[in-house]
Amino acid sequence: MSRVLLVLLMILLAGCARQDGAGIRSIDRHVDDRLPAAAADLSADRVVAADDARFQPLARTEHLAGAVDGRGWWRLRPEPSTAGASATHGRGRLLLVYYPYSARVTVALPPDYRPRSASIFTSEPDPAYSRRALVFPFEGDGPLYVGVESARYPLPVEVRDAHDYAVQDQAHARLLWGSVGILIGVSLAVLLFWSLLRERVYLLFALSMALQLLYVLCAYGDAYSLPALAWLGRFGVEGIWFVATSSTIVTVLFLIEFGELRPRAPRLSGILGWVGARLPGLLLIALVLPWPAYKGWFPPLGNGLLLLANLVAIVTLAVAWLRGSRHAGFVLIAWVPMISVSTARTVQLGAGIPLTPWLEYGLPLLMAFAAVVLVLGLADRMLTFRRERDAAQRHAERDGLTGAYNRDGITARLGHALNETRRLHQPLAVLFLDLDHFKAINDNYGHPIGDACLRAVVEVIRDQARLGDQLGRVGGEEFLLYLPGATLAAARGTAERLRSEVQTRCREVMGAPVRLTLSIGVVECEPRDTVESLIRRADEAMYRAKHAGRNQVVVLA
């Protein structure tokens, strides 16, 4: 899956790449000291009619710099259009304002300079394009006037041929929605696991992936173009903050549980719980409260806690991994690349530097990569638990001394064999084996020798009959062996071989001359038999062998 993501990235980066500042000769910033609180309140006619003295040239032509409290007006002079470019594609040129996020943008463009406003939270942007940029068509080579309010970053701008940008934007949409599709598929699959297994870690993982998916769609603006999510636009940038912080809280809770951080690194996991879940939870409460109305304090506090939580999480996961948590290793592989790209992306946007394709598309791709790796980690976790469960089940069913099934284990398996025998209309024989004079062996040579005799008998049966999975210890020195598909005659032959082999191989055990022998009772399953009646009849046949002088086989027909 990671190879698929890499190939997808390499194919699409060329189509998604853009030339920063292309198509713009110069950018001038309006320096009117009486700039109103909202850029849109400043008449576009006044800006267009302003003399050159009201505009200050900027040194760079790839972003709108010098905003005052997140607002301002700029004049852009585009490069002259190439002759015939508009005629070739019939769509003219576009002014592109990238990564607007919280900003509302007002433009006055040729030929009519009629003011137009847009943000990623409204339906005003052209529905033909994604919302990675606000798109404004224009015609002619006259200056372009751009007003911005509520901007948090210097906004990158570009003038592009409409057809060229449409091709690039389609590549962007394919890559973004391809990553989104992976996240949706993983979230639904894990949610299904949770509905079946009811383990909290699966629910936390599904919620974490769903919130990260929602954050990507909101941050790119595409969520607000979807009918099911368009209502989120009314919350503006505060809605994005809420989703991002909620995603951090749920992800940290998932990491603590999945990475086994509490038992492996208790102190560090406690710190992570505070900086990654409890304190961000308090910030969320303050965000949704009506007071204070000004919420500009949230981004620096939220981002600061996020960076601190990432740092603590990496240290905690590394410690847990070094202390034996395989699952913490899975998280490190999945999570470190994603948070590295996310941090670099935030820093570069804050500096007003246009994002490279690796940073622009690395986040959704690495989220998809992380989802796939963590699913593999969940599968490994399930396999580990299954092995532990099977080991516990084997321990519960097995006799600790001999390794044969205990009474409960062998009777359960005999019940399954009885049902299968009747379904297939096949014979089934049962042998009841008892070590002769076992009490005397314990009295004369001690219990260690007696225990060795029990193990020796089990070893003989496994070696001779290959019947270890059909053998159980039902008492101190008593064993039960069932033979699916064996007639009474065949079972008698098996019993005789076992009796003879024990007599031959167990004359001496651990240096003690025990001269071990077996008394064996043999019965065949009858139509009315149950597990209990089979064992009772086989036990009766064994006692007949005892009374007949021991070291012999008695068949009860």
Cα distances (angstroms) measured from residue 160 to each of 72, 89, 92, 105: 23, 12, 9, 18
| CA 124 – CA 136 distance, rounded (Å) | 11
Positive or negative torsion for Cα 302, 303, 309, 313: positive
Query: Which residue among 397, 477, 478, 532 is the active-site one?
Result: 477
- Decide: helix, strand or coil at residue 68: strand
Question: Which one, of 282, 284, 256, 285, lies nearest residue 270 by Cα?
Answer: 256
Q: Is the CB of residue 276 less than 8 Å from the CB of residue 313?
A: yes
In the block, which residue shows the tokens 């470019």? 85
User: 10 Å Cβ neighbour count for 314?
Assistant: 17
The residue among 207, 249, 243, 209 whose CA lies nearest residue 224 is 243
Question: How many alpha carbons lie under 13 Å from residue 331 in its C-beta half-sphere?
Answer: 27
Question: In whole angstroms, what is the distance from residue 556 CA to residue 431 CA?
Answer: 10
- In angstroms, the CA 455 to CA 14 distance is 71
Q: Distance between terminal CA atoms of the chain?
A: 63
From CA 288, how far away is CA 235, in angstroms rounded?
10
List, in order, residues 6 or more apart from 387 with CB less than 8 Å away. none
The CA-CA-CA angle for residues 471, 472, 476, to 5°, reads 135
Which residues are within 8 A (CB) of 93 and not within 5 positions of it... i.e. 6 or more apart? 23, 78, 81, 85, 86, 137, 138, 139, 159, 160, 161, 162
Residue 193 near residue 379 (C-beta atoms within 8 A): no
Please give the DSSP secondary-structure letter assigned to residue 398. B
Distance CA 144, CA 79 (A): 11
- Write the CA distances from 150 to 147, 207, 382, integer angstroms: 11, 31, 48
- Could you tell me if 246 and 207 are in contact, meaning their C-beta atoms sit under 8 angstroms apart? no
Phi, then psi, of 410 in degrees rounded to 5: -70, -35
Indicate if 477 belongs to the active site. yes
Residues known to be catalytic: 477
